[in-house]
Amino acid sequence: MKAQITLLPGDGIGPEVLAAGKSVLESIAQKFGHSFEMQEYLIGGCAIDARGTALPEDTLQACQSSDAVLLGAVGGPKWDDPTAPVRPEQGLLGLRKELGLFANLRPVKPHPDLLDASPLRRELLVEVDLLVIRELTGGIYFGQPRERRSVNGEEQAVDTMIYSESEVRRVAHLAFKLARGRKAKVTSVDKANVLESSRLWRQTVSSMAGDYPDVVLEHLLVDAAAMHLLTRPATFDVMLTSNLFGDILTDEASVLSGSMGNLSSASLGESTNNLNQPKGLFEPIHGSAPDIAGQGIANPIGTILSAAMLLRHSLGLESEARAVEDAVQSAISNGYRTPDLGGSLSTSQMTEKIIAGFGVSKSEAVL
Ligand SMILES: NC(=O)c1ccc[n+]([C@@H]2O[C@H](COP(=O)([O-])OP(=O)(O)OC[C@H]3O[C@@H](n4cnc5c(N)ncnc54)[C@H](O)[C@@H]3O)[C@@H](O)[C@H]2O)c1
Final residue belonging to a domain, choices 201, 230, 257: 257
Task: Please identify, by atom number, the ligand 1 atom nearest to the C-alpha of residue 299.
Answer: 32
CA angle, 340 then 345 then 350, to 5°: 95
Structural domain that includes position 297: 1-103+259-367
For ligand 1, the distance from its centroid to the CA atom of residue 290, given in whole angstroms, is: 7
Task: Please identify, by atom number, the ligand 1 atom nearest to the C-alpha of residue 298.
Answer: 32
Q: For residues 124 and 223, state if they share a domain.
A: yes
For ligand 1, the distance from its centroid to the CA atom of residue 337, given in whole angstroms, is: 18
Q: For residues 266 and 245, state if they share a domain.
A: no
Is 247 a known active-site residue? yes
Task: Please identify, by atom number, the ligand 1 atom nearest to the C-alpha of residue 292.
Answer: 37
109 located within any domain: no
Domain of residue 307, CATH code: 3.40.718.10
For ligand 1, the distance from its centroid to the CA atom of residue 183, given in whole angstroms, is: 31
**Bridge partners (DSSP) listed for residue 239:** 132, 187
Final residue belonging to a domain, choices 257, 279, 294: 257
Q: For residues 214 and 297, state if they share a domain.
A: no
Q: For residues 220 and 281, state if they share a domain.
A: no
Model's pTM, two decimal places? 0.92
Cα 189 from Cα 198, distance rounded (Å) = 9
70 located within any domain: yes
Distances (CA, A) of 39 to 5, 66, 269, 281, 355: 7, 10, 22, 15, 21
48 located within any domain: yes
Is 191 a known active-site residue? yes
191 lines ligand 1 (CB under 6 A): no
Per-residue tens of pLDDT for the chain, all 367 residues: 999 999 999 999 999 999 999 999 999 999 999 999 999 999 999 999 999 999 999 999 999 999 999 999 999 999 998 788 999 999 998 999 899 999 999 999 999 999 988 899 999 999 999 999 999 999 999 999 999 999 999 999 999 999 999 999 999 999 999 999 999 999 999 999 999 999 999 999 999 999 999 999 999 999 999 999 999 999 999 999 999 999 999 989 989 987 889 999 999 998 899 999 999 999 999 999 999 999 999 999 999 999 999 999 999 999 999 999 999 999 999 999 999 999 999 999 999 999 999 865 444 444 3
Q: For residues 253 and 263, state if they share a domain.
A: no
68 located within any domain: yes
pLDDT at residue 359 in the model: 67
Count of alpha carbons within 13 Å of 127, Cβ hemisphere only? 8
Is 214 a known active-site residue? no
Q: For residues 138 and 236, state if they share a domain.
A: yes
pLDDT at residue 270 in the model: 87
Cα 279 from Cα 270, distance rounded (Å) = 8
21 located within any domain: yes
Final residue belonging to a domain, choices 201, 231, 257: 257
Cα 251 from Cα 302, distance rounded (Å) = 14
pLDDT at residue 260 in the model: 85
Q: For residues 242 and 351, state if they share a domain.
A: no
Q: For residues 301 and 343, state if they share a domain.
A: yes
Q: Is the bond leading into 145 cis (omega within 30 degrees of zero)? A: yes
258 lines ligand 1 (CB under 6 A): no
276 located within any domain: yes
289 lines ligand 1 (CB under 6 A): yes
pLDDT at residue 236 in the model: 98
111 located within any domain: no
Q: What sign does the CA torsion over 362, 364, 365, 366 have? A: positive
Name the amino acid, one letter, at 181. G
Q: For residues 175 and 288, state if they share a domain.
A: no
75 lines ligand 1 (CB under 6 A): yes
Are the CB atoms for 184 and 237 separated by under 8 Å?
yes
Q: Which residue lies with its CA nearest to atom 21 of ligand 1? A: 289
**Bridge partners (DSSP) listed for residue 6:** 39, 69
Task: Please identify, by atom number, the ligand 1 atom nearest to the C-alpha of residue 303.
Answer: 31
pLDDT at residue 366 in the model: 40
pLDDT at residue 259 in the model: 81
Q: Which of 49, 58, 116, 251 is catalytic?
A: 251
For ligand 1, the distance from its centroid to the CA atom of residue 288, given in whole angstroms, is: 5
pLDDT at residue 83 in the model: 83
For ligand 1, the distance from its centroid to the CA atom of residue 326, given in whole angstroms, is: 25
Q: For residues 163 and 71, state if they share a domain.
A: no
Q: For residues 294 and 204, state if they share a domain.
A: no
Choosing from 90, 286, 306, 354 the residue with most ligand 1 atoms within 8 A of its CB, the one to mutate for a pocket test is: 286
318-333 helix and 301-309 helix, angle to the nearest 10 degrees: 160
Q: Which residue lies with its CA nearest to atom 35 of ligand 1? A: 261
- How many domains does the chain fold into? 2
Strands (DSSP E) found in the chain: 2-10, 35-40, 68-73, 103-108, 130-135, 143-151, 154-160, 185-190, 216-221, 238-241, 264-272, 278-284
pLDDT at residue 36 in the model: 98
Is 116 a known active-site residue? no
Q: Which residue lies with its CA nearest to atom 25 of ligand 1? A: 289
Q: In the chain, what is the straight-line distance between the N-terminal and C-terminal CA atoms, in Å?
A: 30
Cα 175 from Cα 178, distance rounded (Å) = 5
pLDDT at residue 367 in the model: 39
Q: What sign does the CA torsion over 173, 203, 243, 167 have? A: positive
Q: For residues 27 and 15, state if they share a domain.
A: yes
For ligand 1, the distance from its centroid to the CA atom of residue 27, given in whole angstroms, is: 27
Q: Residue 317: which residues within 8 A CB-CB, separation 6 or more? A: 1, 28, 32, 34, 311
Q: DSSP string of 45-100? A: HHHHHHHSSSS-HHHHHHHHHSSEEEEEE---GGG--TT-SS-THHHHHHHHHHTT
For ligand 1, the distance from its centroid to the CA atom of residue 108, given in whole angstroms, is: 18
